[in-house]
Structure 1
Amino acid sequence: MKGLDIGSDRVEELAATSAILLYSRQDRSAVYGTVHPVTQDKGGRATIGAGRPIDRMALFDCLRELADNAGPKAEFLPETVLAVSQDAVMWWCRPAMRRVFFDCPEIGRRSAVVPHPGLVFRAASNGFSVFALQEASRPTPDSMLHEPPYFNTWDWGKICIGSATVPKRIDIGSIAGWESGFFESAFTHPNHGNQRVSHPKGEFAFWNDMLDGKYGEQFPRDALVSMDITLAELIAGRKGDLK
């Protein structure tokens, strides 16, 4: 009956303190309710005590507290934020020079600062995803998304987090932490699935060229592979596994 509150920066242990039982008609409409104290023994086992009729004002106060603690808080939206929902945050990264880390037999242990395309990240309750963009400006709903040209990614942009450290929160304030979890972890292998990058000699040759500085400070956008999905469709959850 205990859990962790991941809606705050400090991980806080929660414990059940009371329970509400609703009594309903056959049509499931609630007509009566009772509130019961909950006690826990040293082993963490919970016991629901004797109930009393719900007090109307106490119920309203309880619902108000729940709404204050569970509801999203108003906050400033940076221009990089593309969409926010109850269980997901989506944002955009400008094309930039960033360091990457590799640790795989085909490339070895290498690190270098290389150019990256514009990227769309999505942190959600069902996973962490990344998508590439052809344009260098802030994407619009009609912008076409492309495969992330990275190792450790699955189809539809899913990121294999592995041992990377990512935030427990999914909100605007944790965006920097999600980005760091992606860029500061080592790429170890290409995952099975769709082609991630277009290169005549394959993904290992592509990333060796990148690490050797072949492309200077401009990511080779002709190496991106289209996913045939727009940003608007991603936000709306066109694909079942993106919802």
Structure 2
Amino acid sequence: MTSIVTGPTGADIALRSAMLLYASEDGAAKYATVHPVLVDPKTARPVIGAGQPLDRDALLLALRQINEAAAPKAEFLPGNVIGLSPKAVTWWCPPALRRVFFRCEELDGERSAIVPHPGLIFRAAVDGFSVFAVKGAARPLPDTPVFEPPYFNTWDHGRICIGTARVPKRIDVKSIAGWEAGFFDSAFTHPNAGGKRVSYPNGEYAFWRDMLDGRFAEGYPEEVLVPMKASAQQVVAGKFGGRV
């Protein structure tokens, strides 16, 4: 637990106080207290101190300040952004050549190569980082079907295993490049447990060996993609499910 985080403006902000709400059995808040947050000298962890009743004026002032700080600022959205909410940003990457890094004994240790990638949809959200594949080079529409990500270090349904990858602390449009870098600049090490990521003879290892050896230099082989029961709209809404 930490008492210092990066705020909406990018500056560090510190945990100074805590508000406790007391509610009746039906969940309706009836009473509130505010408490200073102190630092335990032995553990350096934040500790909630003794509180005092929170009056109406102080409560309204705190809510106004939080609202002003959290309110989304008007900004120009680039064409790759397909979804934006207070909890997530979703964007599309057209098919492209990108370098990949592998650290995997089954693929002869450490290897790197520039290989073709399909169109991709990334979603960075408070509940995790996800990636999905799409066919074609057109910007996804709401009903565009999505496919499992054909990569190592991903779980079922697009979930990315971040591991030691360096990703931004913020979830916003300005941080998109950092999220992409965290994914592509990290070494792929192994296929995670779960269903298959690609439909290819002899599986994922054989597919990526052929990719690294330059077999698909003319473009990504979309026929290997594994379909999901989800659309681009469902990804934006965070409601992606299983395979077909």
Q: With structure 2 as the length reference, what TM-score do the two structures score?
A: 0.84
- Does 2:118 match 1:120? no
Q: Deviation per CA, 1:45-75, whole angstroms, max 9, x where unpaired?
A: 4423554x7363x544332211011232222
Distance, in Å, in 1 between the alignment partners of 2:149 and 2:209 is: 17
- Does 2:230 match 1:232? no
Determine the structure 2 residue equivalent to 1:95. 95
1:124 CA displacement: 1.0
Q: Deviation per CA, 1:153-199, whole angstroms, max 9, x where unpaired?
A: 11001111111111111111111000000000011111121111121
Q: Deviation per CA, 1:26-56, whole angstroms, max 9, x where unpaired?
A: 876667x6765636366354423554x7363
Determine the structure 2 residue equivalent to 1:222. 223
Instruction: Check conservation: 2:100, 2:114, Cα contact below 8 A.
Output: yes
1:4 CA displacement: 2.8
- Alignment partner of 1:148: what SS? coil
Determine the structure 2 residue equivalent to 1:201. 202
Determine the structure 1 residue equivalent to 2:177. 176
Amino acid at match of 2:197: R
Distance, in Å, in 1 between the alignment partners of 2:125 and 2:216 is: 33
Instruction: Check conservation: 1:9, 1:169, Cα contact below 8 A.
Output: no
Q: Deviation per CA, 1:142-161, whole angstroms, max 9, x where unpaired?
A: 11101111111110011111
| Distance change >3 Å, CA 84–CA 141, structure 1 → 2 | same
Distance, in Å, in 2 between the alignment partners of 1:63 and 1:117 is: 45
1:12 CA displacement: 2.2
Question: How many residues align structurally?
Answer: 237
Q: Deviation per CA, 1:103-146, whole angstroms, max 9, x where unpaired?
A: 10111211010100000001111111110011111000111101
Determine the structure 1 residue equivalent to 2:74. 74
Determine the structure 1 residue equivalent to 2:211. 210
Structure 1, unpaired ranges of 5+: none
Q: Deviation per CA, 1:197-228, whole angstroms, max 9, x where unpaired?
A: 12123211211111111111411111111113
- Alignment partner of 1:106: what SS? helix
Cα RMSD, aligned residues only: 2.7
Determine the structure 2 residue equivalent to 1:47. 49
Determine the structure 2 residue equivalent to 1:15. 15
| Structure 1 residue ranges (4+ consecutive) displaced by more than 4 angstroms after TM superposition | 8-11, 18-22, 24-31, 33-37
Amino acid at match of 1:126: D
> Which structure's CA Rg is the greater one?
1
Amino acid at match of 1:87: K
Amino acid at match of 1:100: V
